[in-house]
Amino acid sequence: MTFIDHLEELRWHIIRAVIAVMIGAIVVFVFINSVVDDILFAPAKPGFVIKGCGVLRTWP
C-alpha cells in the first residue's frame, strides 16, 4: 500500500466513526428523558444499588 492508499483508508475510518457518533447522538436525543432519569440521576434516587468489588449495597 502506498501512503495515499493509507490516507484513503484513514479517511473512510474517520467518516464511519463520525457517522456512528452522529447516529448515537440522534438515538440519545430521541430518548433524552430516559437517559437523564435512568442513567444520570439514578444515583440520586433512594433505591440506587451500588455494585462493586463483589459487594451489593444500597446508597444511604
* Series of mean pLDDT values for 10-residue runs along the chain (60 residues): 95 98 96 89 79 56
CA-closest candidate to residue 49, choices 40, 59, 39, 41: 59
CA-closest candidate to residue 49, choices 40, 58, 36, 60: 58
pLDDT of residue 46: 80
Burial class (CB in 10 A: 0-12, 13-18, 19+), 35: middle
pTM above 0.85, yes or no: no
pLDDT of residue 29: 95
> How many C-beta atoms surround the C-beta of residue 10 within 10 A?
10
- Locate all alpha helices (DSSP H) within 1-60, ordered by sequence: 3-30, 32-35
Local structure of 31: helix, strand or coil? coil
